[in-house]
C-alpha cells in the first residue's frame, strides 16, 4: 500500500513537470535571443534584427534594428539607412504566442525556437 502511494506521488510530480514544460512554466526566458531576417523587393533591400528579452511577468521587450538601402533607377543600392523600434509584447502562456501591444503583431515560434514569425516575416535565431 505504501509503495502505491509513493509511485502515485512520483507519477503526479512527473506529470506536473511535463505539463510545466509544455506550457513554458519551466522555461521563463525560452524566447530570449537574437533573430534576423533579410528581405528585398524591386525598391529596396533590408536586414532586420529583433532582440527578444523577457521583461516583467508575461511581458517581453523586443528591440528591432533595421538597415536598408533604397534601390535607384538602375537597381543600384543607395546609402545605407537605419531605423530602430522598441516593442512590448505580451505572452499568452496557454498558446505560447506573443502579441505586440501597439500594432497587434502576432509573434510565434517553431518547436525548437530556431525560427520566429512576426506577422508575415520569418526570422532565424542566431543566438
pLDDT of residue 49: 97
* 90-115: pLDDT as tens digits: 999 898 899 999 999 999 999 899 99
**Fold designation for 31-125:** Lipocalin (2.40.128)
* Spatial separation of the C-alpha atoms in residues 62 and 51, rounded to whole Å: 5
- Residue ranges per structural domain of the chain: 1-28, 31-125
Is 0.75 topped by the overall pTM?
Answer: no
* 37-94: pLDDT as tens digits: 999 999 999 999 999 999 998 999 999 999 999 999 888 999 999 999 999 999 998 9
Question: With bands split at pLDDT 50, 70 and 90, how would you rate the model's confidence at 26?
Answer: very low
* Spatial separation of the C-alpha atoms in residues 64 and 93, rounded to whole Å: 23
* Spatial separation of the C-alpha atoms in residues 116 and 30, rounded to whole Å: 12
Closest CA to 87 of 124, 26, 35: 35
Amino acid at each position: 500500500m505504501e509503495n502505491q502511494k509513493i509511485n502515485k506521488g512520483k507519477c503526479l510530480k512527473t506529470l506536473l513537470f511535463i505539463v510545466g514544460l509544455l506550457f513554458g512554466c519551466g522555461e521563463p526566458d525560452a524566447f530570449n535571443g537574437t533573430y534576423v531576417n533579410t528581405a528585398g523587393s524591386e525598391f529596396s533591400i533590408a536586414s532586420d534584427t529583433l532582440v527578444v528579452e523577457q521583461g516583467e511577468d508575461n511581458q517581453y521587450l523586443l528591440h528591432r534594428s533595421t538597415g536598408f538601402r533604397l534601390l535607384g533607377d538602375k537597381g543600384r543600392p543607395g546609402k545605407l539607412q537605419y531605423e530602430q523600434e522598441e516593442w512590448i509584447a505580451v505572452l499568452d502562456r496557454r498558446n505560447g504566442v506573443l502579441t505586440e501591444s501597439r500594432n497587434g503583431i502576432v509573434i510565434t515560434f517553431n518547436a525548437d525556437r530556431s525560427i520566429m514569425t512576426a506577422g508575415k516575416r520569418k526570422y532565424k535565431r542566431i543566438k
